[in-house]
A and B are shown apart, each in its own frame.
Chain A
Amino acid sequence: MTTTSATESREIGNRIVVAGIAAIVLILAITAILLFMNLPDANAFNARVEQVFIENDLLTGNAEIKLLEILAQSGTAFSDTLSSYRFVIFVLLTFATALLVAAIAFLVMLIALTRRMSQIERKGIEVNSLLISRDQKSVYLNNFEFKLTKAAIETLSVLAEARMDDEVMSGAEIEGVISGRPSSDCDEAAGATRIKRLRDTLGNQMVSELLVKNIARKGYMLAINKDVIRMV
């Protein structure tokens, strides 16, 4: 039996990214080497002039030879330009490498982000922020506003405080904190009732916000894309 875990596939992905970047650098390095090898030598012009001088037997006059020398000198001047070209080509190749590496990195980031987005979409509601407003008797989950009763707000506030201290509270403790009596005097069932009421009001509103919408004076509709509905 073969299994593939998420971390395994991420490792494979990382390896592919490293291999891809290495391949880009390698290809551009080879290109650079070939380019620099095939660029004409600085001495190429002189060699050409020399060849012309050797091959033409009649080219013996003083003036003609002087002219050839001047030609060779202008060629040498051009070879300086050639070396500047070499530098420009080198800079451009470096830029190309950097850009391609960046492109690969961004591509990989994009793929990872897409994957993460689809994961979040699958997971349903994930609470990124919880804002409790006691004055307005409302709670903001992400950016959805839910109206709660005073008692439900109290329960939620107590739970939120306990969560911030990484504590777990029993029903009796919750009832104790809210009513201001020692928790030993409180009934476990009273706390459980508070929790049930909070769940009912909040759950009801969340479902109506996220799933079953009430359109005023028209009726009810599922607040989801019709493409995602499947019947088994």
Chain B
Amino acid sequence: MKHITFSLLILTVWANAAQAACYADYKAKRDGPLRLHYGVAAIDGDCAVDAAADALLDRLSADDWQLLTVLGVFDDAGLEERKESAGDYYLRY
């Protein structure tokens, strides 16, 4: 019993860790006048481009941004190299 609880705990922690470590970089626009931005956002749940696109679409449209494309998903390792490019939009949405 104790064994099972422990393994469940491990699983949860691992799942959490996996969730927290998922990020996506995307491109978005706003019309009239045309504004563009490249950003990095943390993704909850499924760590895939499609899921990231679904999640970002809502988050960005709340602020009047229109998602153009999701470039890819990555974990903590890829975070630092994109920080400079994303600028103001680093983990903003």
A, B in one complex: yes
Identify the stretch in A11-19, A26-34, A46-54, A84-92 within 8 Å (CB) of chain B at 4 or more residues: A46-54
In the complex, B45 has a CB within 8 A of chain A: no
Grouping DSSP codes into helix (H, G, I), strand (E, B) and loop, the A interface class, with mixed when no group exceeds half, is: helix
Q: How far is the CB of B45 from chain A (nearest CB, A)?
A: 24
Q: How far is the CB of B92 from chain A (nearest CB, A)?
A: 14
Q: How far is the CB of A74 from chain B (nearest CB, A)?
A: 11
| 8 Å CB interface, A50-85 against B | 50, 53-54, 57, 59-62, 65, 68-69, 72-73, 76
Per-residue CB contact flags for chain B residues 36-55 toward chain A (1 = under 8 Å, else 0) read 11100000000000000000
Q: How far is the CB of B79 from chain A (nearest CB, A)?
A: 14
Docked complex Cα distance between A165 and B82 (Å): 110
Docked complex Cα distance between A119 and B71 (Å): 86
- In the complex, the chain B residue whose C-beta lies closest to that of A52 is B36
- In the complex, the chain B residue whose C-beta lies closest to that of A73 is B33
Residues of A within 8 A of B87 (CB): 62
Contact B31 A46 (CB under 8 A): yes
Q: How many residues of B contact A (CB 8 A)?
A: 18
B27, B34, B37 — which one has the most chain A CB atoms within 10 A of its CB? Answer: B34
- In the complex, the chain A residue whose C-beta lies closest to that of B68 is A54
Contact B34 A50 (CB under 8 A): yes
From A46, A54, A62, A72, contact of B27 by CB (8 A): A54
In the complex, B29 has a CB within 8 A of chain A: yes
Residues of A within 8 A of B85 (CB): 60-62
A59, A61, A65, A72 — which one has the most chain B CB atoms within 10 A of its CB? Answer: A65
Docked complex Cα distance between A50 and B33 (Å): 12
From B25, B34, B84, contact of A72 by CB (8 A): B34
Contact A53 B27 (CB under 8 A): yes
Residues of B within 8 A of A53 (CB): 27, 29, 36, 68
Write 5 A-B pairs (CB below 8 A) sorted by A numbering.
Answer: A53-B68, A54-B69, A60-B71, A69-B33, A69-B36
Can you name 4 extra interface pairs (CB under 8 A) apart from A53-B36, A54-B68, A73-B33?
A49-B34, A53-B68, A60-B82, A61-B85
